[in-house]
């Protein structure tokens, strides 16, 4: 049985998102070492605290991102490639958010808005997919 290319695409972007999250965790570990912040402490140098918040904010966002992504992939038949493309925007937004927020906490806005737009878009696609499936 040949693999579903849309399912593979969604799996790929899921793995990419999780790799970005893994990099965030490794960055927090590096910042702990750099600034002498011993676990379980979550406060210390501002650079460490921003790196920690980036990782935690991303962890908090993952369910709101992953569940709609997979629901939309499974049932958004008009364009099954669209949720994966939107997810690439989410990943780019999260990367920009990470880079800018660690550099200066007031600079996090652009990446935050990009990823929020992508997250809401996939949520809308998931709801639309459910409505379309229900009415079909």
Over the chain (136 residues), the average pLDDT of each successive run of 10 is 89 98 98 97 96 97 95 87 96 97 89 97 95 85
* CATH code at 5-135: 1.20.120.550
Phi-psi region at 79: left, alpha or beta (left = phi > 0; alpha = psi -120 to 50): beta
pTM for this model (two decimals): 0.93
> Would you state the pLDDT for residue 1?
66
Contact present, 128 and 79 (Cβ < 8 Å): no
> Would you state the pLDDT for residue 75?
85
> Would you state the pLDDT for residue 109?
93
């Amino acid at each position: 049985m040949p693999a579903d290319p849309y399912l593979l695409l969604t799996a790929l972007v899921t793995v990419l998102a999780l790799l970005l999250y893994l990099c965030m965790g490794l960055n927090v570990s590096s910042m702990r070492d750099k600034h002498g912040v011993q676990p379980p402490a979550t406060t210390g140098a501002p650079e460490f605290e921003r790196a920690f918040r980036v990782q935690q904010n991303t962890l908090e966002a993952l369910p709101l991102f992953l569940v709609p992504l997979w629901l939309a992939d499974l049932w958004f038949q008009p364009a099954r490639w669209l949720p994966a493309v939107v997810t690439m925007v989410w990943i780019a937004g999260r990367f920009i958010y990470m880079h800018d927020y660690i550099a200066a906490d007031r600079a996090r806005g652009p990446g935050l808005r990009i990823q929020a737009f992508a997250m809401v878009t996939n949520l809308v696609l998931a709801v639309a997919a459910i409505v379309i499936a229900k009415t079909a």
